[in-house]
Structure 1
Amino acid sequence: MYENDEIEIDLSRVFEIIKKHFKPFALIILAASIVAALITLFLIPKKYTAEAKLIIVQKSNPDSQQISYNDLQTSQKLVNTYSEILKSEAISDEVIRNLKLEDLDTEGYQKIVKISSVKDTEVITIAVTSKDPKEAAVIANEIVDVFRDKIYSIMNIENVTVLNSAKIPEKKSSPSNIKNTLIGFLLGCVIDGCIVLYILLNDRNIRTEEEMKQIFDYPIIGLIPDMTHGTGGAE
Structure 2
Amino acid sequence: MMMNDNYITEEKEKEELEIDLGQFFRELKKRWRLIVISTFSLCLLVSVFTIFFIDKKYKSEATIYLTPKVNETTGTVDANSISGNNQLVNNCLSILKGNSVLQKVADTLKLSYDEVASSISVSNDAETQIIRISAITKDPQKSKDIVDTTVSTFTEMMLEILNLKNITIIDYAKVPEGPVSPSIVKNAIIGAAGGFVLSCGYIFLAVLLDKRLKNKSEAEQFLEIPVLAEIPYFED
Shorter-chain TM-score bucket reads 0.7 to 0.9
Counterpart of 1:177, as a letter, is: I
Unpaired runs of 5+ residues, structure 2, are 1-9
2:226 maps to amino acid:
G
Which range moved further: 176-185 or 17-26? 17-26
Give 1:222's match in structure 2, choosing from 226, 229, 232. Answer: 226
Counterpart code for 2:32: F
Contact 2:71/2:78 (CA < 8 Å) preserved in 1? no
1:16 aligns with 26
Paired residue for 1:83?
93
Change (3 A) 1:191 1:157: same
Task: Between 106-115 and 57-66, report the one with greater CA deviation.
Answer: 57-66
**Alignment gaps of 5+ in structure 1:** 231-235
Query: 1:111-138, CA deviations, whole angstroms, 9 ceiling, x for partnerless residues?
Result: 2111122223221111111222111111
- Decide whether aligned partners of structure 1 residues 197 and 149 sit closer, same or farther in structure 2, where only a CA change above 3 A counts: same
Residue number among 37, 44, 67 corresponding to 1:57 in the alignment: 67
**SS across alignment from 1:52:** strand
- Residue 74 and residue 205 in structure 1: after superposition, are their counterparts in 2 closer, same or farther (change >3 A)? farther
How far apart, in 1, do the equivalents of 2:162 and 2:14 lie? 70
Structure 1 match to 2:171: 164
After TM superposition, the structure 1 stretch with the greater mean CA deviation from structure 2, 190-199 or 64-73, is 64-73
Instruction: State the Cα distance separating 1:222 from its structure 2 match.
Output: 2.5
Question: Which among 173, 180, 190 is matched to residue 197 of structure 2?
Answer: 190
Offset at 1:4?
6.7
Measured against aligned partners, the alpha-carbon deviations of 1:144-185 in whole angstroms (never above 9, x if no partner) come to: 000001123444433321111101111221111101111111
Distance 1:156-1:10 versus aligned 2 partners, 3 A rule: farther
Give the Cα–Cα distance (whole angstroms) in 2 for the partners of residues 19 and 194 of structure 1. 14
Quickly say closer, same or farther: Cα 1:116–1:229, change in 2 above 3 A. same
Change (3 A) 1:209 1:174: same
TM-align CA RMSD? 2.9
Deviations 1:7-54 (A, max 9, x none): 543432221121222112211111110011111111112221111001
Deviation at 1:57, TM superposition (A): 2.4
Matched position secondary structure for 2:232: helix
Instruction: Please give the alpha-carbon distance, in whole angstroms, between the structure 1 residues aligned to 2:117 and 2:174.
Output: 20
Aligned counterparts of 1:77 and 1:15: Cα–Cα separation in 2:
63
Identity, % of aligned positions? 27
| Distance in structure 2 (CA, Å) of the matches to 1:136 and 1:64 | 43
**CA distance 1:226–1:124, shift in 2 (3 Å):** farther
Equivalenced residue count is 223
1:94 and 2:104 equivalent?
A: yes
Report whether the alignment pairs 1:66 with 2:73.
Answer: no
Query: Partner residue of 1:39?
Result: 49
- Partner SS, residue 228 of structure 1: coil
Number of the residue aligned with 2:125:
118
Residue 208 of structure 2: aligned partner: 201
| Residue 71 (structure 1) shift | 3.7
